[in-house]
Structure 1
């Protein structure tokens, strides 16, 4: 029946995955609208239970993922190419870094650039644990520690793990661009069966909800900015209009295609965001303070990172971490397949070591610069200026309006705030646009031509879920977004552990096992007096015994197992072992002439 419906609608996708995902989304939207209170209460109760009892699982999970990525990158598998062994990278280093900059960070930077540091400055997370008072220098230091913790290495770990898995299984094993493909070493052909389809359905639903939360936060921020500039009311009606406008622009971009839509908008946004950053740095009158503070706070973060990575608010048990860190990790991991596939697409031909170091370091470094400049500029306003940001963000709870309250302290405040609103809108248009394309690819299992109607459907679905969460959930906007995404994020964390196992197993299968290390052997060394006794005793054979250490032969000649002879045929390794460079991932050392195959 699904196949007949699929053909009747002139679709070109996987009927089971497409219609099951669509049905769940529609059921959620209708259920939330018509059964608002019961579903809202159930969602809130379930998320509260998860945060209370499994918050540690979310915290531990991201740190484990980071440790795994470092282990893979530094180990022998770090040299593995994400694609054919002899194929060079598709994009130059500069182009690759620029695209990484654009991947998934714009919306985060705009919403939280001021709100995060000021929130923790005014209400320190570890006030009970460490006795830190809000509004002090100590509060500013700890605020930046948590800001960097939330938006640098750990956030990009959540994106990097699935991105690396996608890159390996799509480019190396040539599997479909689906989350189920990552599980091929475990499921085999089962990736096309019921379990594989279930994995893809969960991934698509999670991606839609994750992007919807991003759009919801952006809607609140746009509404807050328009309220400050033009007095627009902050209510459900205007939020629905904003969601409609953003979704409509995204659908136009989808219709125009990648080159004329997403690419042009992304380039405009990158330039505008950098110009805004430069304006904030130099127009606030505290450039030296901001630059020194950014560098110093990064050093403080590196020192505090091991503690923060495993901190669980055990003794104070304030519940703060549940609504901040746990929410961030759950939210980020739900839309990690979307960002992961994008990063995988642009990374073909790079080694695992290049991939992990680049994807973790480049966006994290820019986030340090962004949050450092906005954070210390905010602290300067509070400590040395007119203040008012803590009152807006912490006392009044106006997190979405933090950026615009901050910009009101700068020259040309109205104009710059208007530019910021446009920037936020375009960031979210590109997010919906890209998410629609990626979600359609996950449903189809390929990236070839697909009917435009499919991509439009996913764009509309994201808009509907956003409106439902933000307007029809029966609770406050941010509270509804947090409660829902924490529930959706749980299966993704469970899948993360399976992803690590599947990737490591695939690398072992494809790269092969290295033989054990062999070394030369040495004769038994005895004290001189004991050697003399045994020499005089016929019961002992002293041929293999010495007084001074003596090797029994030369050290084995270790040859790279990937060496080929002059005819292009693989050469059997001498005595089995590989070279030290092959084991360590360093540059290949020159072999002595007697250890080279003929023709070299």
Structure 2
């Protein structure tokens, strides 16, 4: 706790109040209402999906379509607002506030900190979409951005720009709002590291009652949906890669074996703790990602990629405003299918990634966190899409390989691009290994966050709890794949979008609460 906080004692009593709801049984130490209700809701969803996947898929798909059709302006406007709010935090006087107080020191080196930011945030997504997304936009797979004519040089340029737009500063703003708010109220105000704490300036001690329970339950459900969906989609890509490399059956059995393997290694990572598990794997991730990136750059159209990198930066700056606008768009169907979907997806991941960033960012200033999380990942994203996306587009434009025919399989796109480069078997093997490690770090960090929320914000909890959440993620993904295959995963994706609508409103209120908390803190410390 920060001794400079003027309401430190009151916050300490509030922390004690939330702890009274915890139960200690069977080696667990969990917050009874949040843990119990979250588990029941998730298991009920899985049960319904297993026994009637078609009904679940139809209902949730209709709900997703309704959310996107009627609230596209809400998602688009919220994304723009969150980015502007992050920029205000960066340049404003509150940016100098150090998370944990003036004397706080960091727990990780800057290199390890940035590696964990990237690994937990977008690494797994870039492996899946780094090739597929630009080629999809170029070839008019569910529309083209800003209604550009497909299969043209203009479409190729805008394909990279739109891909970076979806993975750049707008998306990271969702994470930063949650990360700064949680870190500030925990490290500087002494409140538990859980979502409800952020709303203390608005609802006071009621955040330790049912209003707070509902907030935390919403965060748990959204997080599990996002993680389980990613495991399922990633298992599909890994299965396709194993089929390509070793002719392994590309089906349900292989997908489940991949998830079981990931879950088993995740348990080992959980036992090793934050330093020996997530930190170590994140550094390994960055090494292999950099290795694969350099390989594709060197053996691909290197001169073209160098030129494209700078062109992509300029084009991103030119088109960020047109792509951010939601009014009177000629490409509305593309915007609904991609941009609105992406913003809702980032919202659903914000409790997970935001809390993880907060957990590892003690000792950083708010300005340091916002700059690092906004611009460093965006530049990495720019580099990744330039190397992988422009290489794939070059092949498509030159009629080289399968990608010249557009997207036949999203999960195969990266391997189809690597197939036309030297040493494709080795590079594809590295790609699968990198994909699996990204899954493990995401699953481990997700288990860490879920455990923290369902334990009432406690940082030190029994290891079996984190193992429970790590295994539950894998079990949900396996059950959904077994019960409904792609239909069940589509239902899960639709549920994620549906859950994102109310949680976007929660994030907007979070901004107001964070503003009030920072203003009071700055005023008190200025005396």
Asked if 1:145 is matched to 2:149, the reply is no
1:427 to 422, 425, 438: 438
Aligned counterpart, 1:338: 352
Partner in structure 1 of residue 222 of structure 2: 206
Higher helix share: 2
CA contact (8 A) 2:22 2:456 kept: no
Alignment of 1:200-599 (within 5 A): 200-284=216-300, 286-311=301-326, 314-317=329-332, 319-384=333-398, 386-391=400-405, 393=407, 396=408, 398-473=409-484, 476=487, 479-512=490-523, 562=526
Shift of 1:500: 0.5
1:415 deviation in Å? Answer: 1.6
Structure 1 residue 210: Cα displacement = 1.0
Aligned partner of 2:80 among 63, 66, 70: 63
1:108 corresponds to 2:122: no
| Distance (whole Å) between structure 2 residues aligned to residue 76 and residue 452 of structure 1 | 40
Residue 30 of structure 2 corresponds to which residue in structure 1? 13
Q: Measure the CA separation in 1 of the matches of 2:68 and 2:298.
A: 41
Q: Counterpart of 1:12 in 2: which secondary structure?
A: strand
Please report how far the alpha carbon of residue 289 of structure 1 lies from its aligned counterpart in structure 2 after TM superposition.
0.5
Cα-to-partner distance string for 1:274-304 (whole Å, 9 max, x where unaligned):
00000000012x1110111111011011011
The answer to whether the 8 A contact 2:72-2:326 is kept is no
Residue 189 of structure 1 is matched in structure 2 by 205
Mapped partners of 1:112, 1:477: distance in 2 = 21
The alpha carbon displacement at 1:419 in A equals 1.5
Q: CA deviation at 1:18?
A: 1.1
Range that drifts further, 407-416 or 83-92: 83-92
* Structure 1 pair 468–392 and aligned structure 2 pair: CA distance change class (3 A): farther
Distance 1:306 1:370 in 2: 22
May I ask how many residue pairs the two structures share in their alignment?
A: 508
Distance 1:5 1:162 in 2: 24
Partner residue, 2:71 = 54
Correspondent of 2:57 among 40, 48, 62: 40
Q: 1:312 to 1:378 in 2, by over 3 A?
A: farther
Determine the C-alpha separation between the residues in 1 that align with 2:99 and 2:382.
Answer: 28
TM-score, length-scaled by structure 1? 0.80
Give a deviation string over 1:319-342, Cα, whole Å, max 9, x none: 222232222222222121221122
C-alpha contact 1:209 1:465 (8 A) present in aligned 2 = no
> In structure 1, what is the Cα distance between the partners aligned to 2:451 and 2:268?
16
8 Å Cα contact 1:124/1:139 also seen in 2: no
| CA 1:166–1:444: 2 relative to 1, 3 Å | same
RMSD: 2.4
1:464 shift after superposition: 2.5
Cα distance in 1 for partners of 2:39, 2:202 equals 27
Match of residue 135 from structure 2: 118
Verify the 8 A CA contact 1:326 1:486 in the aligned structure 2. no
Measure, in 1, the Cα distance between the counterparts of 2:173 and 2:464: 34
Higher relative contact order (CA 8 A, sep 6+): 2
Distance 1:478 1:292, change over 3 A: farther
Rounded Cα–Cα distance in structure 1 between residues aligned with 2:420 and 2:191: 52
CA offsets per residue over residues 143-188 of structure 1, 9 Å max, x none? 0110110011111111111111111111111111100011111121
The more displaced of 88-97 and 351-360 is 88-97
Counterpart Cα distance in 2 of 1:390 and 1:188: 58
Query: What is the CA-CA distance between 1:368 and the residue it aligns to?
Result: 0.7
Q: 1:205 to 1:371 in 2, by over 3 A?
A: same
CA contact (8 A) 2:57 2:487 kept: no
Distance 1:230 1:124, change over 3 A: closer
Deviation at 1:453, TM superposition (A): 2.2
Could you tell me which runs of 5 or more consecutive residues in structure 1 were left unpaired when the two chains were aligned: 514-560, 563-569, 571-600
- 1:506, CA displacement in angstroms? 0.9
Q: Is the 8 A contact 2:29 2:462 kept in 1?
A: yes
Q: Gapped runs of 5+ residues in structure 2?
A: 1-19
Contact 1:118–1:389 at 8 Å: present in 2 too?
A: yes
Q: Which has the larger radius of gyration?
A: 1
- Do the aligned residues in 2 keep the contact of 1:313 with 1:321 (CA within 8 Å)? no
Q: Given that residues 128 and 234 in structure 2 are in contact (C-alpha distance below 8 angstroms), is that contact kept between their aligned partners in structure 1? A: yes
**Could you tell me how far apart the structure 1 residues matched to 2:77 and 2:365 are?**
27
Change in 2 beyond 3 A, CA 1:19/1:273: same
Distance 2:79 2:214 in 1: 24
Distance 1:43 1:446 in 2: 31
Q: Would the alpha carbon gap of residues 38 and 69 (structure 1) be closer, same or farther in structure 2, given more than 3 Å must change?
A: same
Other-structure match for 1:76: 93
Distance 1:312 1:456, change over 3 A: farther
